[in-house]
Structure 1
């Protein structure tokens, strides 16, 4: 199998002095001899369709061995730096990009401003070299990856490769190594037990790892388990598509727990949001952060209004209207673009400013959020029967913003990363910061009957897919605290856009792209339940964290949810394709979110009941002491994401023609009986909280029609008290 990629595999014993490699002895005929020890190796290889599964037991038969680790090395000849290399949530396209700064959220150099030719630029992350004959090494531990895996695509060989392993052996987290030769004509990829890195990657920097190889005595052994896939591939999308199929192997997928019904989550989080409505000098709004300043889009400003509007409560509807008034009357610049935020005292924010260019700037991502969510607010008000309450100013603001995006596209052929709200000029080019813009544009196109915007949305979607997904295997740059690093938020935002294009056009090509994009999204989501350090907060609560969503290659942590979205695009993709992998991914995300919510007897933030925060930390990027420990604070965006999931994802989905039931909520459901006219379900709630479970049932014909953005308003809600089972009769028509 490896010969197809000019590869070989060997095992070795590596001896260290601290984190410095002192010597390496390879196994020959399943034996190795170090200075003071004799080793034996026993391997069991099992052929699988397109893969080889390997169990390797390495044992010190005689003697002793100080500071020693076991290494599995796969060496590939005829290597090319054009190969796409990916480690889920950590490395994309080898991270072979221009690097700036040495720490969190580095300032941009002057040459990145008003420069259409600016190269993709990232923070100081693990990466392969952009230079021939330079050092080219990535050294990680399994805790750095959403899935313990190394993947690559070889354009010259038209083949893909995936190496999967488990998080740990008895020695702790394993290491993941990628090292190119000095001439970049060969590459070694491998696993070590345990991880022994000289440096550990932080948030845009590196620090001494503190790793330590163990001492061995006669009789000590370690078992390593890994799986190798080699397959035909005509491009990066083929590798991503194979990855989403196998990401749960060999360690096994997560086992989500039912602990917090989505209705209870919505009640608790909306109570927090309700109590965070303030009136200050700048205006009246729900606080998007812990201070009183307002930040638009991204971390929930004018996004947390949507679930509050969906509550259909008179007071909250008035408050939402007050916030929309504040946003459109205070934050929109002359060009139609919005400023990214304002202090409570009324001082507008300028983002990523440079002394040489004092013109105020704003994130393109935030403006994309404004257009998308403002359109969703308008649609929701109409669906609720409150269309008459829509202010002309809101529609005018949305129309001006869509017009601004259209003008930017026609002038530059991209949306850029940062924009000048007064002039409409792109201040910083490149990245996928405009990932969600096509979704907002096509929605605005249909709402305002401007056909040109649909074409621009289609052109922009095709552009991002070709340039970023198909050619680079990444999306990035839409967070305000990173450079143009690959990140999860742009991945999910672009999936939203592709599904919006499918929704309004019905064209299969968008669905095909969306499946690839969903596979890219899956690379950012924990595929298994990590083992956290004994005594850590996550360990003590016995949390099952499969489904936590990693932030970016700079911000090396996972979070409870998608910033800031319900992920309902995955549900829509599941409906359109029937592929359960998308439903499983979304279910895992929702359940991991619930694991992070602060509830009685399940304290995470040690803050308000129903609060949550953005740190689920499997890596040691913030120090070994941070692994598995929550931060005792709260983040509005995670609470907003939870509310959105509770609203926009059905608790139970039933296809009555297929007689299939899928459960997203924290209940179980099974078919009790069925006849020609109906299906009867038994729904059981084993959590300590009463639940009102939303249920969506449809036929194949209904499932073939794209789901309306406000479809959740019509879903049935089933009351299931804590510890009880109820029967539900679902008509087939």
Structure 2
């Protein structure tokens, strides 16, 4: 039974609830403030294994179910920010009950398949798209090739159905979400809704379920304690969950807490902004640990990269994988060269030059686009091929990486004073690639997902695979003085933002092992491009788009420190994993860092806006990365010191035994991301006009004195390693000027031994250590 009321009457209830909190006796379905024609139900659900045997709704505060007498107490509190906080406590008063769970459901009428539905890192736009395959990285059917009208197509993930007249359900547990939340935007009502909950109750991880009726005009959002799913989602498939509801005896109790936000929302970006503001509201602030200074991280990771330089039949390069084959872009091929170049070491500089020679000579196709990889013996590696189309294909994303990072290499060489060493072949290769992107945009108005480097034709359309291309085009436009490329970069950035972010609330398809699935890498790639547009133009519209994009990026990062199984490696190391970045809706795991970036666009956005949420997100990502690095006394990969790997697993997508356990291997891209963070993010950022300090590195600071023309701060290194910390100190006027990509070259550094506290004076002319 549902009780539905008008928005006006719901607002009146809100006013009454604001006067006091109460322990209330709840009827079968309860209208709560502002719930968009919604009602709350509380049920005791009894299972046999994972099959639902019976569900009994509480009448007032009582229920007779599964042979027991149950009581429900609900405390409802209206909060000053307009949210409603609820704690529901269920107790078995008498008897015993086998395999029972408490379920809280929010039933919404006036539903529509046009509602945008979001579960952070798991569901975007309801995942309401064509699905293919039944496993990891499914092959594309023939109709997806050379088809400009190809629909957005995802792997076999939890999703709401696209068919009419068919009910649909998404059944998850809190470990599947970067933030335990279910959210939606109603375009009809122009309202947003966010349901936050905690990861666990005393019964373990909770369930998150979304159920639409066949007509798709009503929907239930449910929380259950614990999660009892028939199937658990895997990497593009499903497997039996192994979930089991507990047996109860008299006196057993469980409490589930949740918070609801209802607010005016003009569009999907409004929902994303609100979610970024409140994603930590229920879990509370996380607690990043200072365990590994950025300088020590950089030293260890560059040592690994040094040892991975090889000379093979086809050329010389730093290995981007655990074999001798070369993969360009994406997982760090010709990206890991950048921090090695930044070392300003003569030997490594020549090695970087050898790799640039190899890439530009061996991998660029006739069209100007690059092939995605090559074996150690010189055979080009195909990507996402179909037997009907023999032309070798390559990822658009990899080509975007080539342009972006090749331009950054050229700029870094000039910033270091080695511009004369730049070889014309590298510049010609970059210019040819930019010309190819410009031609594709002129012809198709998009970059596609896969291209044929031999012909330049788009092989697979759609996706946001070209997310980072505009950032590279802006650099190329300035470097080669081709103003038309700036116009194209702005047009492409606006296109991807409006088509994918504003209208669909997702970006996706730029990983080599997924379909068009929503993913984090494209989100951060587009963030880079939008920030580049703002820095180039100074126009506020680009800043607003960048802020929305940052909010989308935040949905992919763990917002809290998850509880992992007590016997797991992460739990035993007591790792704080807030900031780990989820991969994609297919690859259901988090990773230590952004693939493959420092995330410095977030820092630039923080400088431009003063909004600390962007700095907090970046700090969390950096600290989660450090938690995954293999160090003495903190063994994660059981591999090389300073190595890391791409699995931080809060979900049971790979089986319950995988939750909280690292994989004993290493991934070049995670190590590259760590090196880039150590270089491109200042260890300490200081605004001298505001006397504000933000610390990214693993040190602690305190303002000692505020003098007329200087600021004195204490820097304490609490870690077990000596630290060399970069500082960026600037006033408001300086902060208004965009940072060049190579700004880090000029940042001063100070050293603090393990456990040491130093004092530093900061003036307009520099930084000095006080003896």
Q: Which category of TM-score, normalised to the shorter sequence, fits these structures?
A: over 0.9
Q: Is 1:15 the equivalent of 2:61?
A: no
Q: Deviations over 1:479-538 (max 9, x none)?
A: 000001000000000000001111111111111000000000000000000000011000
SS at match of 1:29: coil
SS at match of 1:350: coil
Q: Is 1:513 the equivalent of 2:522?
A: no
Q: Is 1:212 the equivalent of 2:250?
A: no
Q: Deviations over 1:2-57 (max 9, x none)?
A: 55511001111000010001111111111111141111111111111120011111
Q: Distance in 1 between matches of 2:48 and 2:661?
A: 30
Q: Deviations over 1:288-327 (max 9, x none)?
A: 0000000000000000000000000000000000000000
Partner of 1:61: 93
Q: Deviations over 1:424-463 (max 9, x none)?
A: 0000000000000000011100110000000000000000
Bigger mean CA deviation after superposition, 475-484 or 40-49: 40-49
Q: Distance in 1 between matches of 2:475 and 2:53?
A: 61
Partner of 1:39: 70
Partner of 2:355: 323
Q: Distance in 2 between matches of 1:382 and 1:732?
A: 26
Contact kept? 1:2, 1:8, Cα under 8 Å:
no
Cα distance, 1:252 vs structure 2: 1.6
Q: Distance in 1 between matches of 2:651 and 2:67?
A: 34
Q: Distance in 2 between matches of 1:419 and 1:507?
A: 32
Q: Is 1:562 the equivalent of 2:614?
A: no
SS at match of 2:504: coil
SS at match of 2:575: coil
Q: Is 1:77 the equivalent of 2:137?
A: no
Contact kept? 2:287, 2:576, Cα under 8 Å:
yes
Q: Give the TM-score, by structure 2 length.
A: 0.95
Contact kept? 1:254, 1:545, Cα under 8 Å:
no
Equivalent of 1:6, from 24, 37, 45?
Answer: 37
Equivalent of 1:704, from 736, 742, 745?
Answer: 736
Q: Deviations over 1:254-286 (max 9, x none)?
A: 210000000000000000000100000110000
Partner of 1:381: 413
Query: Which blocks of at least 5 consecutive residues in structure 2 are unaligned?
Result: 1-31, 766-771
Q: Distance in 1 between matches of 2:341 and 2:701?
A: 30
Aligned length: 733
Partner of 2:282: 250
Contact kept? 1:679, 1:732, Cα under 8 Å:
no
Cα distance, 1:135 vs structure 2: 2.9
Contact kept? 2:474, 2:489, Cα under 8 Å:
yes
Bigger mean CA deviation after superposition, 132-141 or 394-403: 132-141
Bigger mean CA deviation after superposition, 298-307 or 709-718: 709-718
Partner of 1:477: 509
Contact kept? 2:66, 2:98, Cα under 8 Å:
no
Partner of 1:623: 655
Contact kept? 1:85, 1:94, Cα under 8 Å:
yes
Q: Distance in 1 between matches of 2:367 and 2:163?
A: 42
Q: Is 1:357 the equivalent of 2:389?
A: yes
Q: Distance in 2 between matches of 1:334 and 1:499?
A: 32
Q: Is 1:281 the equivalent of 2:330?
A: no
SS at match of 1:471: helix
Q: Distance in 1 between matches of 2:295 and 2:39?
A: 53
SS at match of 1:491: helix
Contact kept? 1:253, 1:529, Cα under 8 Å:
no
Q: Deviations over 1:658-702 (max 9, x none)?
A: 000000000001100011110000000010000000010000000
Q: Distance in 1 between matches of 2:394 and 2:481?
A: 28
Equivalent of 2:60, from 25, 29, 49?
Answer: 29
Q: Distance in 1 between matches of 2:434 and 2:248?
A: 65
Q: Distance in 2 between matches of 1:502 and 1:305?
A: 27
Please tell me the root mean square deviation across aligned C-alpha atoms, in Å.
0.7
Partner of 2:565: 533
Q: Distance in 2 between matches of 1:10 and 1:374?
A: 57
Q: Distance in 1 between matches of 2:159 and 2:300?
A: 42
Q: Deviations over 1:44-102 (max 9, x none)?
A: 11111120011111111111111000001000001000000000000000000000000
Partner of 1:432: 464
Q: Is 1:239 the equivalent of 2:242?
A: no
**1:229-628 correspondence runs (5 A):** 229-628=261-660
Contact kept? 2:167, 2:215, Cα under 8 Å:
no
Off by >6 Å, runs of 4+ in structure 1:
none
**1:678-693 correspondence runs (5 A):** 678-693=710-725
Q: Distance in 2 between matches of 1:73 and 1:289?
A: 46
Q: Distance in 1 between matches of 2:564 and 2:152?
A: 35
Cα distance, 1:622 vs structure 2: 0.2
Partner of 2:8: none
Q: Distance in 2 between matches of 1:664 and 1:293?
A: 35
Q: Deviations over 1:319-339 (max 9, x none)?
A: 000000000011000000000
Q: Distance in 2 between matches of 1:124 and 1:54?
A: 34
Partner of 1:667: 699
Contact kept? 2:46, 2:66, Cα under 8 Å:
no
SS at match of 1:5: coil
Partner of 2:11: none
Partner of 2:216: 184
Q: Distance in 2 between matches of 1:340 and 1:254?
A: 39
Bigger mean CA deviation after superposition, 504-513 or 467-476: 504-513
SS at match of 2:72: strand
Bigger mean CA deviation after superposition, 235-244 or 498-507: 498-507
Query: Which blocks of at least 5 consecutive residues in structure 1 are unaligned?
Result: none
Q: Deviations over 1:556-606 (max 9, x none)?
A: 000000000000000000000000000000000000000000000000000
Q: Distance in 2 between matches of 1:3 and 1:668?
A: 43
SS at match of 2:303: helix
Q: Is 1:632 the equivalent of 2:668?
A: no
Q: Distance in 1 between matches of 2:539 and 2:72?
A: 54
Q: Give the TM-score, by structure 1 length.
A: 1.00
Partner of 1:154: 186
Q: Deviations over 1:178-202 (max 9, x none)?
A: 0001211100001000000000000
Q: Deviations over 1:201-251 (max 9, x none)?
A: 000000000000000000000011100000000000000000000000212
Q: Distance in 2 between matches of 1:2 and 1:525?
A: 30
